[in-house]
Amino acid sequence: MTDSKPAFSLKTLTGETVSLPGPGPALVVFVKEDCETCNTAAPVVQAFHRAYGAAMPVVMPAQSGEGNHVLRDRHGLTLPILDDSACRTSFDWDIEIVPSVFWIDGNGGVLSHFEGFVREEWQGLNGQIAASLGLPAAQIDWDSLPPWRPGCGSQHLYPEYFDKLTAERDGGQLKARRIEIAVADDVSEFMFDQGFSDGLPLVPPTPERVLRMMQGTRRAPQDLVAIVPPNMGEATVEKVAINAVMAGCKPEYMPVIIAALEAVCTDAFNVHGVTATTMGAAPVIVVNGPIRERIGMNKGLAALGSGNRANATIGRAIRLIVGNVGGGKPGGVERSTLGNPMKYTMCFAENEERSPWPPLHVERGFRKEDSVVTVFAMTGGPVHIVDQESRAPDQVAGSIGLGLEGVFLPKLHNLPVDTLLVVCPEHIDTLMSDGPYSKERLRARIQAVTQRPLREMVADPVSGAGIPAAIAEKMGAERLAALAPKFAGEQYIHIVVAGSDAGKFSSAFHGWATGEIGSQSVSRRVDSD
């Protein structure tokens, strides 16, 4: 075999240091105490030590801490048992199964390697070593041993070992400043005190967790994902991963987080304005395409609420990045008068399978098989639109339109402002009860039922909002009689489907300033291949 194993130095159970490889051949057998097959093999290794130990080292790196002493005493072992309870040598040698047997030369080259207990393999190794050393073969009662026993998984593959060891090995990829916390400090309280949190507890971003998170993307740790306003902080893949860990994400969410961050950091979306406005705008993230199922997003029951890890933590990760990397924190650039619960998180998947319409991303020019993230800047919602009585398509469409009268204020019409309408499945069923009912028809119906004379938009003693009285006087009666729909155009009405099959409750998100003076919705394809 041409494989070569790295050098190591380990302590025996009596405190001596053993360093291998070199200068000659050695037999190295990795074991752990609670493995039945390792206990089968231990007396065989002891016999090898008696036969060959004077001519070459026969050592047993053992992974079990105090269990190493138990293993020694159980079998009366006198060979060097090496303490590999930290599993670093097991990790460096890239074993998978114990017992794992390596006969190596003085340079660490592997002369023979096998795992578990196959009697013929052990017998063959006995003969090979004896012949190479010119010594009699170890005397072993082979007939008393089983022909075959499977090994056990190496302890270093347990997550609590493997992630830490990987972080030690690959830690050079991480460039973010590391913060040492005193042993007596409470990590969660420390992160609150440092201002990393959105007000809820965070998952500590240890190196092993960050490295594991970065496995969710093919991009290199120091690749720049986005420049994050308002402080124009550089969000590398590593920094995205750190905040994703704190938010509670899984690694497989990373492509969605990256796409969403790219979207919110565009000039068109204007996350600086979204963050700074006193109106309390926040990103609303809609996910389309195959990635929804792949990462377990919720599109049905309670899709806009709690209970789904992907929905909750993806949106939270974006908010943490805007705060921790971009500096958009309450009391600083974040100046929302009342705040907004969507500033914690708002992310959901469209229920494309329950929709009779082209999904949102297809409407926006993508292929159905693409995975796409679309971000909207919204100030309110989700606000329920309740209609449990309508049985005709135009009736329920009319109710939806009337429900949207509350965007900004009922007396404000001709608004150049986005709304995101989430139609529930039962309302879909009513809309389709007499045949196809397109999104275009629904948008037109919304505009039709919300038409009001401009005179109803004039400021008055009931409400000072609307058209100033002085301007209204100059407009004349004929112009004030002209009808104005709720929205300045149908293009401001964005429609998706979500929710469960039970309940006639659609919802709407109310937009912020739309267009160049505010925010425009942005879509990004998810790189998940």
Q: Is residue 235 in some structural domain? A: yes
Parallel/antiparallel/unpaired status of strands 26-30 and 97-98? unpaired
Residues 81 and 221 in one domain: no
Residues 205 and 354 in one domain: yes
The number of domains in the chain is 2
Q: Is residue 212 in some structural domain? A: yes
Of the candidates 109, 135, 139, 108, the one whose C-alpha atom is nearest the C-alpha of residue 123 is 139
pTM of the model: 0.80
Name 8's bridge partners.
20
Q: Which residues contact 128 (CB under 8 A, 6 or more apart)?
A: 103, 111, 112
Residues 148 and 254 in one domain: no
Neighbours of 449 (CB within 10 A): 18
Q: Which residues contact 265 (CB under 8 A, 6 or more apart)?
A: 226, 227, 228, 229, 235, 271
Over pLDDT 90: what percentage of the chain? Answer: 91
Q: Is residue 167 in some structural domain? A: no
Q: Is residue 478 in some structural domain? A: no
Residues 326 and 431 in one domain: yes
Residues 209 and 277 in one domain: yes
d(CA 89, CA 100): 12
Q: What is the pLDDT of residue 529?
A: 62
Contact 110, 103 (CB under 8 A): yes
Mean pLDDT of the chain: 95
Please identify, among 157, 172, 207, the residue that sits at the C-terminal boundary of a domain. Answer: 157
Question: Which amino acid makes up residue 459?
Answer: A
Burial class (CB in 10 A: 0-12, 13-18, 19+), 309: middle
Q: Is residue 1 in some structural domain? A: no
Q: What is the pLDDT of residue 1?
A: 44
Q: Is residue 51 in some structural domain? A: yes
d(CA 380, CA 81): 66
Residues 143 and 235 in one domain: no
Residue 169: which H helix or E strand, with range? helix 159-170
Average pLDDT over residues 63-75: 96
Residues 333 and 437 in one domain: yes
Alpha-carbon torsion, ordered 139, 140, 142, 148, to 10 deg: -130
Over pLDDT 70: what percentage of the chain? Answer: 99
Q: Is residue 477 in some structural domain? A: no
Average pLDDT over residues 296-310: 97
d(CA 306, CA 346): 10
Of the candidates 109, 100, 80, the one whose C-alpha atom is nearest the C-alpha of residue 9 is 80
Please identify, among 157, 175, 203, the residue that sits at the C-terminal boundary of a domain. Answer: 157
Q: Lowest-pLDDT range, 323-332, 348-357, 435-444?
A: 323-332
Q: Is residue 369 in some structural domain? A: yes
Residues 328 and 412 in one domain: yes
Contact 326, 406 (CB under 8 A): no
Over the range 487-509, which residues count as b (16 or more CB within 10 Å of their CB) and which as e? Answer: bbeeebbbbbbbbbeeebbbbbb
Residues 144 and 217 in one domain: no
Average pLDDT over residues 160-165: 85
- Six token digits for residue 30: 């990795």
Residues 514 and 380 in one domain: yes
Tens digits of residue pLDDT in 112-124: 999 999 999 999 9
Termini Cα distance of the chain: 36
Please identify, among 115, 137, 157, the residue that sits at the C-terminal boundary of a domain. Answer: 157
d(CA 260, CA 4): 44
Q: What is the pLDDT of residue 328?
A: 93
71: containing domain: 8-157
Residues 153 and 236 in one domain: no
Tens digits of residue pLDDT in 366-391: 999 999 999 999 999 999 999 999 99
Q: What is the pLDDT of residue 179?
A: 86
Residues 119 and 217 in one domain: no
d(CA 410, CA 419): 14
Q: For tokens 């800047």, what's the residue?
A: 377
Q: What is the pLDDT of residue 2?
A: 52
Of the candidates 389, 421, 427, the one whose C-alpha atom is nearest the C-alpha of residue 510 is 421
d(CA 228, CA 256): 17
CATH code where residue 99 lies? 3.40.30.10
Which long-range contacts (C-beta less than 8 Å, at least 24 apart) are formed by 62-65?
A: 62/30, 62/31, 62/32, 62/33, 63/30, 63/31, 63/32, 63/87, 63/90, 63/98, 63/154, 63/155, 63/156, 64/32, 64/33, 64/34, 64/155
d(CA 341, CA 483): 35
Position 167 pLDDT exceeds 90: no
